[in-house]
A = this chain, B = another copy of it.
Amino acid sequence: MKTREIAEFLNAELFGDGDVDIVRVAALESATKGEIAFVEKSGFEIATNAACLIVPHGFAQQTGAAQIAVPNPKLAFALVAGEVHPPKKRGAAIHPTAVIAETATIGKDVFIGAFVCVGENSIIGDNSQILAGTKIGDGVNVGGGSVLHPNVVIEDGCTLGDNVILHGGVVIGADGFGYVQDGRKTHHKFPQLGTVVIENNVEIGANTCIDRGALGETRIGMGTKIDNLVQIAHNVSIGKCVVIAAQTGISGSTVIEDDCVIGGQVGMGDHARVQSGAIIGSQAGVLPGKIVRPGVWWGTPVQPLDEYKRQNAHIKGLGRLKDDVKKLKKKLSE
């Protein structure tokens, strides 16, 4: 792409040479000939050998690079990267080693890698890519344009939307963790007969687990992004455009509404509800049944960030407080 074409793609103003060939995106510090980088904010002295820079409006500095001015340079850079480096698209092919049930339906332009299984009555949508070693059970529906990385497991009856990305080792639809004790301390399996529904444009990180509903469904809403090694229990319902960082665990039947941001290593008890727009800091703990209102939350059990900070300050000041009380006691006894 030429710098001029990139500016047109971004519908943005170009300053400098429009005929420079851009072959790669790169970080500002390492960018060189043929590469485009971005400057997130004005006000810092920039040193770069990039051939082209995406800069914020009002960026005054000259660098020798062509500059494209936009309102949100990081977003523009991400969009340009998607053009310059389109996701690897394997050609339509079904590897001869793949084991595909006769009753399965494979869409157009689908890639199916080596050692993949697709079970009875399962459907793989057009343009999807199922990479090597992935195991898809019976009655599974994978939408169009989805990418399942190697060694993913999809258990029977689960549904994935369009443009879903599952990274390596993801397990969708394992039995939820539910037991009923009898009087003799034996744990009997509570039925785990439900399913998992993953809506369009969801991305799920490596080795993350999403259990099927016990009787109903576990649902991941449209556009939600989940990091690696996350645990989503049975009957959890996650809204649209939610972000969940790595190693967070969400217990059974908890609801996370649209647009929430959940940090890493957060733990949530069962039947909690995180209301739309709430932000929960890393390592926080949400008690079972808790309702988390919009705002920024922190700590275990979660509290508003302000309170958490005030409390932490109080704790840090405990030594002084103790000394004060000691002095008062002494003074008073005199």
Contacts and interface: CB of A to CB of B under 8 A. Distances in A.
A81 B78 CA distance: 49
A314 B324 contact: no
Interface string A75-100: 10111011001001000000101010
A93 to B, nearest CB: 13
A81 B192 CA distance: 9
7 contacts: A30-B216, A77-B190, A99-B114, A177-B246, A245-B251, A247-B249, A267-B283
Given A246-B249, A322-B321, A155 B177 contact: no
Interface in A126-165: 131-133, 135, 137, 149-151, 153, 155-156, 165
A325 B153 CA distance: 60
A207 B174 CA distance: 10
Given A133-B117, A207-B207, A319-B314, A188 B228 contact: no
Given A78-B189, A97-B97, A135-B151, A26 B267 contact: no
A269 to B, nearest CB: 7
Contacts of A58: none
B265 A207 contact: no
Interface of A: 25-27, 30, 72, 74-75, 77-79, 81-82, 85, 88, 95, 97, 99, 113-115, 117, 131-133, 135, 137, 149-151, 153, 155-156, 165, 167-169, 171, 174-175, 177, 179-182, 185-191, 193, 203, 205-207, 209, 211, 215-216, 223, 225, 227-229, 231, 233, 241, 243, 245-247, 249, 251, 258-259, 264-265, 267, 269, 282-283, 285, 300, 310-311, 314-319, 321-322, 324-325, 328-329, 331-332
B153 A150 contact: yes
A123 to B, nearest CB: 18
Contact of A209 (B88, B181, B206, B249): B206
A205 to B, nearest CB: 6
A86 B14 CA distance: 64
B310 A319 contact: yes
Contact of A300 (B155, B168, B283, B311): B283
Contact of A245 (B155, B177, B185, B246): B177
